[in-house]
Amino acid sequence: MRLSRYFLPILKETPKEAEIVSHRLMLRAGMIRQQSAGIYSWLPLGKRVLNKIERIVEEEQARAGAIQLLMPTLQPADLWRESGRYDAYGKEMLRITDRQDRDMLYGPTNEEMITDIFRSYVRSYKDLPLNLYHIQWKFRDEVRPRFGVMRGREFLMKDAYSFDLDQEKAVESYNRMFVSYLRTYKRMGLTAIPMKAETGPIGGDLSHEFIVLAETGESEVYCHKDFLEKETPGLDVDFNGDLTPIVEDWTSLYAATEDVVDRADFEASVPEEKRIVARGIEVGQTFYFGTKYSEPMGAKVATSDGKEVPVHMGSYGIGVSRLLGAIIEASHDDNGIIWPVEVAPFHVGLVNLKPGDALTDPVCEDLYAKLEAAGIEVLYDDTDNRAGAKFATMDLIGLPFQVVAGPRGLKDGLLEVKERKTGEKEMLTVEATLAKLQAALTL
């Protein structure tokens, strides 16, 4: 993408309303724009990152056997009356009346609707296990939306729902999502720690919050330091096999949020030098809640001996839009964002220091074409801005690599290649630049 034809509205000043660094950086880097309290437009750079996060989530959900569908944003109130949550949900639920005076709502979550879909079609244990998920915009009318996309009102969530014949099978489904979550976050450069959690309005008795440690996290968490060194299940993990050992390994160390922590227990089970008490950002939550929805809503299946039983369910959320904030909180410096390669909006920023120059133009055009042909995504700064502004923008938007083409270096046939994360710079020929980037960015 040529910057001269792109839409990247960088802000020079730090917006006053932004209290935390991810919110500030997303506004400054032209990634989002607030349209109303807690409601954002995703400007092109933000949208690209959102897309990448969605793709990773989709890939890992598919790997774990979840099947994608898409439920609408608006739901009929009647479904929620069946489960009893319509009155219970409170003011966070955005209630809407349509032109025929029907009670509707903007879905804050989808347990009711997916249960309705399930009961409409599935009759037999033979069709189980089943895990259906979607990635859809939700709305929760927070009293005090803040922290940018971290606590917005309109937000993008991945929510999966598992259906099983009994608790034992349901726990197998739960474990598949649990392991899939570890992989999902790791691919985004995050270490997410599964912590015992309260189940809240979803209900149920088995639940984990997946927490990323960050100074600006909304809640206090208590956990064992060894989590930070744990190895994430690799590509070879068999989702058809027994995942219990992995789940046990990841739940054997103490980890709890402030809502459920038992301090005495924490201190008894974690040696002092291994204790972490820190702030954390919740980036996902898993629930097993049995027949909480299937029972009142009549979602039953026939067993192998012909009985009808309510199906056992779980639900599994990932805060897709919030993840952008969490990644930035975990990965930035004073100059701006530092994107992990897999979620970076572009892989390389190519800076032409003197557009129109007989040396820089052809080299940049050639390199731009070759990188793109190699599947490397390039933001090519071909604008007339001054060098200092170009460098500052590249640092701010945090692409993994910067390549700078100036008349001086090119007299000797050299480009400057900088890795954003380390700040390391090298002067390389065009060929060496291409080789280095291809080696580093082969995903």
Q: Which residues bind a copy of itself (CB under 8 A)?
A: 5-7, 9, 30, 33, 35-37, 39-44, 46-48, 50, 65, 67-76, 91, 94, 96, 98-100, 102, 104, 106, 113, 116-117, 120-122, 130, 132, 134, 137, 139, 141, 143, 153-154
Closer residue to a copy of itself, CB minimum distance, 1 or 309:
1
Least CB distance from residue 62 to a copy of itself, whole Å? Answer: 9
Least CB distance from residue 120 to a copy of itself, whole Å? Answer: 7
Neighbours of 297 (CB within 10 A): 20
Closer residue to a copy of itself, CB minimum distance, 65 or 189:
65
Least CB distance from residue 97 to a copy of itself, whole Å? Answer: 9
Sheet holding 401-405, edge to edge: 378-381, 348-352, 401-405, 415-419, 425-428
Closer residue to a copy of itself, CB minimum distance, 117 or 253:
117
Crossing angle (nearest 10°) for helices 167-187 and 44-63: 140
Least CB distance from residue 409 to a copy of itself, whole Å? Answer: 28
Contacts of 255 (CB under 8 A, 6+ apart): 193, 194, 195, 196, 211, 221, 222, 223, 224, 227
Closer residue to a copy of itself, CB minimum distance, 143 or 235:
143
Least CB distance from residue 9 to a copy of itself, whole Å? Answer: 4
Residues paired with residue 174 on neighbouring β-strands, in sequence order: none
Residues paired with residue 32 on neighbouring β-strands, in sequence order: 42
d(CA 78, CA 75): 9
Q: Assign residue 65 a region (left: φ > 0; alpha: ψ between -120 and 50; beta: otherwise).
A: left
Closer residue to a copy of itself, CB minimum distance, 73 or 303:
73
Least CB distance from residue 84 to a copy of itself, whole Å? Answer: 19
Closer residue to a copy of itself, CB minimum distance, 154 or 329:
154
Give phi and psi for 83, each to the nearest 5: -85, -10
Specify the DSSP class assigned to residue 16: T
Closer residue to a copy of itself, CB minimum distance, 135 or 255:
135
Q: Is the dihedral of CA 47, 50, 56, 57 positive or negative?
A: negative
Least CB distance from residue 300 to a copy of itself, whole Å? Answer: 16
- Structure tokens of 436? 């280095």
Closer residue to a copy of itself, CB minimum distance, 213 or 378:
378
Q: Are 400 and 344 in contact (CB under 8 A)?
A: yes
Least CB distance from residue 288 to a copy of itself, whole Å? Answer: 20
**DSSP string spanning 121-184?**
H--BGGG-SEEEEEEEEEE---SS-BTGGGB-SEEEEEEEEEEESSHHHHHHHHHHHHHHHHHH
